[in-house]
Amino acid sequence: MTTTSQVTSRGRLMLNKVPEVTVYFWIIKILCTTVGESFADYINETLGFGLTNTTLAFSAALIVTLVVQFRLNRYVPSVYWLAVVLISVVGTLLTDNLTDGQGVPLWISSTVFAVLLAAVFGIWYARERTLSIHTIVTVPRESFYWLTVLVTFALGTAAGDWTLELTGWPPGRSVLLPLGLILAVLVAWKLGMGPVLSFWLAYILTRPLGANIGDYLASPHADGGLGLGTLGTSVLFLGTILAVVVYLTVTDADRTERVRVATAERDQVRSGSEDRR
């Protein structure tokens, strides 16, 4: 077990830099993945920015946001979720550059990103002895965390596109596979699968789920979609993300320290009630 003194000796000790995993977390995560798909397509294709220019622009914005994120000593919803939105776009563009720019087959990029993710997890665990997001309290752990998030977005994009390439499913039906796999992970977690493994599996799977939802909303009616277009989908989801982030900023409903205190107080009340019985 890693003690507080051991963590402190490895770097500046901070409050946990990521949110508590609540329903808000998964809602925004899925919304961010949808934005990553639709917004990247809108800037790249609709506005004609081009793949290279779009990648450079969003990568620069991501670097600036991560610099701000790393300078903080606690979780700030607006900065954290802006980083996730940008990293979702950049992760999508990494796969798009390999597939469209370099002609790399999706099965190869999926394999490469899967191996890279395993390597990041291995190095992270070897150094820190934990992969839990509840312990992102030092700069090295935060670095591993954001690198992992980037690779999961790239892997989710490649694996999701590869699956669609193999199945040829229309936008609506394509939502069902990642949704079903996420539900399977939920069931496995309820049956005793480790919370860390369950979290990261679900985290990876939300990428193709969000992307497929985005495709379904943006695709024309003739292709089986709802016809909102990439701009309409991006505006809708960015607006929803902004509303939820404002709520979380005001209420602190997903701040780890607050949630744990509230849980402890609730458990104490329950324990007192049982004792009186």
- Per-residue pLDDT of 80-121, as tens digits, reads 999 999 999 899 888 889 998 899 999 999 999 999 999 999
Helix (H) or strand (E) holding 216: helix 195-218
pLDDT of residue 277: 53
Sign of CA dihedral 153, 157, 159, 163: positive
The pLDDT of residue 72 is: 93
What are 54's two structure tokens? 């779009």
69/63 Cα distance (integer angstroms): 10
3-state class of 18 per DSSP? coil
Assess whether pLDDT exceeds 50 at residue 5.
no
Task: Give yes or no for a contact between 31 and 210, defined as CB atoms under 8 angstroms apart.
Answer: yes
Mean pLDDT of 124-151: 93
Q: Work out the percent of the chain whose per-residue pLDDT is above 70.
A: 88
Give whole-number Cα distances, 8 to 72, 142, 161, in Å: 16, 14, 42
- How sure is the predictor about 259, in pLDDT bands with cuts at 50, 70 and 90? low
- Contact 94/62 with Cβ under 8 angstroms? no
Angle at 60 between CA 55 and CA 64, to 5 degrees: 150
93 neighbors 40 (Cβ within 8 angstroms): yes
| Full-model pTM | 0.84
pLDDT of residue 139: 93
- Residue 275's contacts (CB-CB under 8 Å, 6 or more residues apart) are none
Q: Are the C-beta atoms of residues 75 and 248 closer than 8 Å to each other?
A: no
Residues 50-75: b if buried by 16+ CB within 10 A, e if exposed: ebeebbeebbebbeebbeebbeeeeb
Q: Assign 151 a pLDDT band (cuts: 50, 70, 90).
A: very high
pLDDT on residue 12: 55
Lowest mean pLDDT among 3-7, 21-25, 233-237, 257-261: 3-7
Which contacts (CB < 8 Å, 24+ apart) does range 77-80 have? 77/19, 77/245, 77/248, 77/249, 77/254, 78/245, 78/249, 80/17, 80/18, 80/19
